[in-house]
Amino acid sequence: MAILILCLFVGLPVAEILTFIEVGGRIGGLPTIGATIATAAAGAILFRIQGLTTLRRAQESLGHGRMPLAEVLGGLGLLLAAVCLFVPGFVTDVIGFLLFIPPIRILVMAVLLRSVLAKAHVHMSSGSHGDGRGPSNGSTIDGDFQDVSEAGVSEPNSAGDADLERPGLPDYRPDKADRPQDRTKP
């Protein structure tokens, strides 16, 4: 990882300077600066067009109740492409223009995501026991209960209670407030 960071912060600027010198020697200083400004403008236009399309697809996914993960990753790839085009230099411009091509952007973002997830230590917890004993193991269910032991069970008092008895299940008789309303009466 340290070598990658060293290459990024030292190697990339050196490559950019060498490319500027070479291009400037062939086409001149002013055309080189003009080309750098033109690539930044082209990056802004491409980012706006493709970014709005990605945003529209994300909104459609949310409208259909789906998580727009692909659109978010694509949007991050577009942002990376735009940053590469805004940075002065021809090497980063080539990288930026390549990232505006959807298959390449998807491949690069998948590699980056896989790399981040491989290095990340993710800990998920479903909460705590509530008594200070620390995280639960996922088998704790929070809810209200009603005691339906032998002392709390009353005898059926109407025909509606008879259908609550099921073989193999505990005998449960809801209070009148728990019963569904009789829909046959107006």
- Please report whether residue 158 resides in a domain: no
Token pair for 53: 């399309």
Q: What is the DSSP letter of 166?
A: -
Percent of the chain with pLDDT over 90: 23
pLDDT of residue 129: 47
Average pLDDT over the chain, rounded to whole?
A: 77
**pLDDT 10s digits, 107-136:** 988 888 888 888 776 555 555 545 555 555
Q: How confident is the model at residue 4 (pLDDT cuts 50, 70, 90)?
A: confident
- Please report whether residue 125 resides in a domain: no
- Please report whether residue 144 resides in a domain: no
- Please report whether residue 53 resides in a domain: yes
- Please report whether residue 59 resides in a domain: yes
Range of the domain at 24: 2-118
**pLDDT 10s digits, 144-174:** 767 676 655 555 554 544 444 545 555 555 5
- Please report whether residue 86 resides in a domain: yes
- Please report whether residue 50 resides in a domain: yes
**pLDDT 10s digits, 36-93:** 999 989 988 988 998 899 889 989 988 888 888 888 888 899 999 999 988 888 999 9
Percent of the chain with pLDDT over 70: 65
pLDDT at 184 over 80: no
Q: What is the full DSSP assignment across 88-153?
A: SSHHHHHHHHHHTSHHHHHHHHHHHHHHHHHH--------B-SSSS-B--S----------SGGG-
